[in-house]
């Protein structure tokens, strides 16, 4: 994979920016937007020079970035690029072992990142809960985007009518982030951040 491969990725036309049509995409978009607005609300409640203010700005930025990445369908583009690269390098037939190693390595990188970022989390329960749930959501998105085949087939499996396992897991994690942000917002309703 070289720089030319990355710059030659084509984004979908403007009229089809949503990764999928239907109620699941709209619900996910509304949840991402609601989470961003809750995080911005917590950011605005904090004193201008507080550590918590920076934290809530980082949380809202991460949620906004994840929402944009999901709406543009960039994880699917990464998966397509990896499939093409594996076929070009002729290891597509033996991808299962490499895929497992890569997913484990990515999970280890995400875990290491969480350990390194943990000191930046303010010491209250609400911020820690948001950090954990946002970390799970971002790790799921990252692992889903680098999976080559078997994981994709599992995520496309229907669990209830038209709801796929992917919609169920991402939606559940997004609802968890929303719930944690709402709880943190309620904890700080009458107080200001210091």
Q: What is the DSSP string of 100-132?
A: HHHHHHHHHHHHHHHHHHGGGS-SSHHHHHHHH
pLDDT digits (tens, 9 = 90+) for 57-91: 999 999 999 998 888 878 777 777 877 777 777 76
Find residue 45's DSSP bridge partners: none
Q: Which two tokens stand for residue 174?
A: 């997004």
Give yes or no for a contact between 171 and 179, defined as CB atoms under 8 angstroms apart: no
pLDDT digits (tens, 9 = 90+) for 161-176: 777 888 888 889 999 9
Q: For the whole model, what pTM was predicted? A: 0.77
Q: Which two tokens stand for residue 164?
A: 């796929």
pLDDT digits (tens, 9 = 90+) for 117-175: 888 888 888 899 999 999 999 988 888 877 656 677 777 788 887 778 888 888 899 99
User: Mapping DSSP to helix (H, G, I), strand (E, B) and coil, where does residue 144 land?
Assistant: helix
Q: 113 φ, ψ to 5°?
A: -60, -40
> How far, in Å, CA of 179 to CA of 173, rounded?
10
């Amino acid at each position: 994979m070289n720089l030319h491969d990355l710059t030659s990725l084509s984004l979908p036309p403007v009229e089809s920016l949503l990764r999928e049509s239907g109620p699941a995409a709209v619900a996910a978009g509304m949840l991402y937007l609601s989470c961003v607005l809750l995080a911005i609300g917590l950011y605005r409640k904090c004193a201008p020079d507080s550590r918590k203010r920076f934290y809530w700005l980082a949380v809202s930025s991460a949620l906004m970035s994840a929402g944009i990445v999901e709406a543009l369908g960039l994880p699917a583009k990464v998966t397509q690029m990896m499939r093409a690269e594996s076929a070009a390098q002729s290891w597509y037939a033996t991808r299962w072992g490499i895929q497992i190693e890569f997913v484990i390595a990515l999970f280890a990188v995400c875990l290491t990142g969480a350990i390194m970022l943990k000191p930046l989390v303010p010491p209250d329960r609400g911020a820690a809960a948001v950090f954990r749930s946002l970390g799970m959501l971002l790790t799921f998105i990252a692992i889903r985007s680098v999976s080559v085949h078997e994981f994709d087939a599992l995520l496309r499996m229907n669990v209830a009518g038209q709801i796929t396992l992917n919609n169920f897991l991402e939606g559940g994690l997004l609802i968890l982030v929303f719930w944690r942000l709402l709880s943190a917002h309620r904890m700080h309703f009458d107080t200001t951040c210091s």
